[in-house]
Amino acid sequence: MNNITKNCSYAEHEEVNAISYCFECKVNMCKKCENFHSKLCKHHHCYNLDKNISELFIGFCKEENHMEKLEYYCKNHNMLCCGLCITKIKGKNKGQHKDCDICFIEDIKEDKKNKLKANFKQLEELSKTLEETINNLKIVIEKINENKEELKMQIQKIFTKIRNELNEREDELLLEVDKKFEEKFFNENIIKESGKMPNKIKICLEKGEIIEDDWKDENKLSLLINHCINIENNIKEINMINENIKKYNCFDDFKMTFLPEKDNEIKKMIDIIRNFGNIDEIGNFSKIISFSEKQLIFNWIGNNVNDINLLYRMSEDGNSFKTFHDKCDNQYPALFIAKTREGHKFGGYTSIGWNSKSNGYFLDEKSFLFSLNKKSKYEVKEKKKVIGCYSYRGVDFCNDCYFYQSNMTECYSSGDYSFLKGVGRVLADNNKNETFLVEEVEIFKVISN
């Protein structure tokens, strides 16, 4: 036992190592104390502490400071205990089992002996299947790891595509900036040409003076006229550059901008990116909802809900009301979930279920409708009979949400508003039409602890 000290129990010798232990006196003794003890208590049982301590105390209580023989059996905790464990006074590590069903260990001998044979048989059976179980576990773990890596690759692939699209869009916008500025605003050619203007004017004036002096020389006539043409072309070019400069100068208070430029618009885009994608579990319990949506519904139901068992699935069992009632009548509490063709998911809970032979509406204050798209729960507004039980209808929540016509493919809300005003329209986000074409319907029986 690890809690047994090896120091002598005698206060004056507490720094001295003990060499033996007396069960009757419940003390550790050094060599000097052992000499006195052996003379005074010849019939006491003493054990040498140099031996393996755990072997010495087999059959004795391991509770701290008990050191009593294990003479009793606690039926409540399926464990052996000593007299101090079952004492009626609780405290100082005593009385832990004072309120338990206790018997002598001799009284359970035959029972444990018989159970041992059964346990041996069970262990033999387990040993046969253990290898197969371990191999199956390895396969499951391998599949889980494969799913994990596939999921990572899928995420990387999608985000790589998004990043590529963003990079391409960035390059397109940068090129568009250059193009628009070249078309509309100053460019390098205009600046270079405008820099040449003073020199061109100077050259034109100098040539003009030379021409004035040479007009009388007939031999230079063609040359002089050619100079005049050049001067006219230069004047035309200078005027054009001058007009361009004047035109561009009017844009000194004008600038282009990038949209979206407002912080709230940029924030919206960032929020979309940050909330893009969702990691969720997919189970075979439902073709409509995920594990997280299932947990949300469980929280709405409350009352220690443990699980749900599938009673009816339209895509597998057919869409007739008769099939629905054959599978779901008198199965309660019940949960129904529907998905419209537009992708809206909604449903309801009833603690009393349905019975097609009842022909009427019945009180169910615990019932409620819900929208998974809105993440909203709609409870009964007042004490009113809200669960409809008719053979010619399917799921019926007091006209706020019920399946009618001839099968389970159409859900209707007449606006009776027993749950919340307009609940039917809220369920499917449809403010224009109260009839919802349903893609899938599932009915479950709710299992509670």
Kindly report the number of other CB atoms within 10 A of residue 105's CB atom: 15
Number of residues that this document lists for the chain: 449
Task: Tell me phi and psi for residue 83, to 5 degrees.
Answer: -60, -35
Nearest Cα residue to 29 out of 14, 41, 19, 40: 19
Kindly report the number of other CB atoms within 10 A of residue 396's CB atom: 20
> What is the bridge-based pairing of β-strands 401-403 and 396-397?
antiparallel
Torsion of Cα atoms, 18 then 23 then 24 then 29, to 10°: 0
Residue 153 pLDDT level (bands cut at 50, 70, 90)? very high
Cα(310)–Cα(28) distance, integer angstroms: 66
The Cα-based distances of 60 to 57, 70, 83, 288 in angstroms read 5, 5, 11, 59
Cα(254)–Cα(108) distance, integer angstroms: 99
Global pTM value: 0.42
Is the pLDDT at 391 greater than 70? The verdict is yes
Is the pLDDT at 431 greater than 50? The verdict is no
Q: What is the pLDDT of residues 203-224, one digit of tens each?
A: 777 777 777 777 777 777 787 7
Is the pLDDT at 340 greater than 70? The verdict is yes
Residue 185 pLDDT level (bands cut at 50, 70, 90)? low
Kindly report the number of other CB atoms within 10 A of residue 312's CB atom: 24
Q: What is the pLDDT of residues 412-428, one digit of tens each?
A: 665 555 566 555 555 65
Map residue 58 onto helix, strand or coil: coil
Cα(165)–Cα(11) distance, integer angstroms: 83
Is the pLDDT at 90 greater than 70? The verdict is yes
Is the pLDDT at 244 greater than 90? The verdict is no
Longest C-alpha distance within the chain, in Å?
Answer: 160
Cα(444)–Cα(291) distance, integer angstroms: 15
What is the arithmetic mean of pLDDT over 164-168? Answer: 92
Which tokens in the block code for residue 211? Answer: 């021409």
